[in-house]
Amino acid sequence: MTQLLLSWIESANGADTPFPLNNLPYGVFSVGEGDLRCGVAIGDRIVDATGLEAAGVLRADADADVLDAPFWNDFMALGPAAWDHYRAGLTALLSAEASEADQDQVVTYSVPMAEATLHLPFEVTEYTDFYAGRHHAVNVGTMFRGAENALPPNWLHIPIGYNGRASSVVVSGTDIRRPWGQLKGPDDEAPRWAPSARFDIELEMGAIVGQASSGPIGVDTADGNIFGYVLLNDWSARDIQAWEYQPLGPFQAKATATTISPWIVTKAALEPFRCDTPARVHELLPHLRDTSPMLYDIELAVTLTPQDGAVSTISRTNYNEMYYSAAQQLAHHTTSGCPMRIGDLLGSGTISGPEQGNRGSLLELSWGGKEPFALADGRVRSFIEDGDTLTLQGAAHGDGYRIGFGACTGTVLPAHDDPFKG
């Protein structure tokens, strides 16, 4: 395992900073009323990548200004060789070995993170969400269909997914308004129109496709096409979902919002933390078999903070619990010939572990609302209440350093008045 790489920016050298020189995640920031700019997190600062490019200090492309944009999509389009070359250039500028002249340039083109507002780091061109965590699928299947029929017969052979809405994706810190929807009445009663009373989170990782493809691609090519990862919260209205999901899957239950963390942690930064997917129950068909470690050891946690309340950690789990890697999901996604675009976002599916405290949704934590769980301050929860702030955290842990993602957080606001009432 690699060691902490030292930077001349002191705040990047602690064991606790999420953003050491080993990380260098990509985001989009603004200061005050200023323009949105591409930035790189290092310690407690943001390096202005747009400014460094314009000044000719560090360019990703010799001819085109790919970072003169409020997103990293044009940079992704340059491809993996350029990604590596740029990262090497950044590392040299920020390393403890950097010349004083280089350090002066970076000081000119950097801002304190505390003064910046963070925005979506890339233009989300498409969004697909999978259902690839086995513990989650077994838990939900058991609640809805009984233990005997928990996993549908296809589940152990393909990563199940649905096409989501790119327009629903928002950056961490965006408030989430409780949705209205059509909810099933008890037994034979007619459905009713009401605010969701079973509003929930799903703890997921999001993989960002950094290279376009126009036909079926194998798992190795898919792994190479992934640019990086973010934390992802797939806000879910369980009561809307329960009524609408048959036969075509989730629709309005998942369309309110999807929150992602503000920094793209690159595949390069996660390289030391690759791990294998869990043992297969059935051998996959050859085109979906992983040929090397393509999952990652990333520790994850969920906190819930009631309005005017204390923070409670309600779940801890790890991305390595997933049954399918993002590379397998992307490969499967293309089997029909489905074109993939730069900026395509692939949600992993809810990440739950084997124990009660490892569950990645309130639906599972409260077992469908039947077993409300306690918060630190003595309150209990089954589903989200108005004013609750839900936060996902994630980090890969190296030798004396960590690769952090930055928080993926959102506060749930009360539903608006009935939008269809005079």
3 state DSSP class of 400? coil
Burial class, 380, CB count within 10 angstroms (exposed 0-12 / middle 13-18 / buried 19+): exposed
Least CB distance from residue 368 to Ca ion, whole Å? 17
Measure the CA–CA gap between 33 and 42, rounded to whole angstroms: 23
Answer yes or no: are the C-beta atoms of 41 and 422 closer than 8 Å.
Answer: no
Residue number with CB closer to Ca ion (162 or 367): 162
Least CB distance from residue 163 to Ca ion, whole Å? 12
Cα Rg of the chain, angstroms: 22
Residue number with CB closer to Ca ion (48 or 234): 234
Query: In the annotation, is 136 catalytic?
Result: yes
Residue number with CB closer to Ca ion (119 or 198): 198
Q: What is the contact surface with Ca ion in residues (CB under 5 A)?
A: 129, 202, 234
Active-site choice (85, 119, 135, 136): 136
Least CB distance from residue 200 to Ca ion, whole Å? 10
Residue number with CB closer to Ca ion (202 or 290): 202
Least CB distance from residue 133 to Ca ion, whole Å? 9
Least CB distance from residue 179 to Ca ion, whole Å? 16
Measure the CA–CA gap between 261 and 27, rounded to whole angstroms: 10
Give the contacts of 257 (CB within 8 A, at least 6 positions apart): 168, 169, 170, 174, 176, 235, 410
Query: Which residue type sits at 42?
Result: I
Residue number with CB closer to Ca ion (203 or 314): 203
Measure the CA–CA gap between 367 and 370, rounded to whole angstroms: 6
Question: What is the CA angle 167-171-175, rounded to 5?
Answer: 90
- Bridge-based pairing of strands 389-397 and 299-305 is antiparallel
Positions marked catalytic: 136
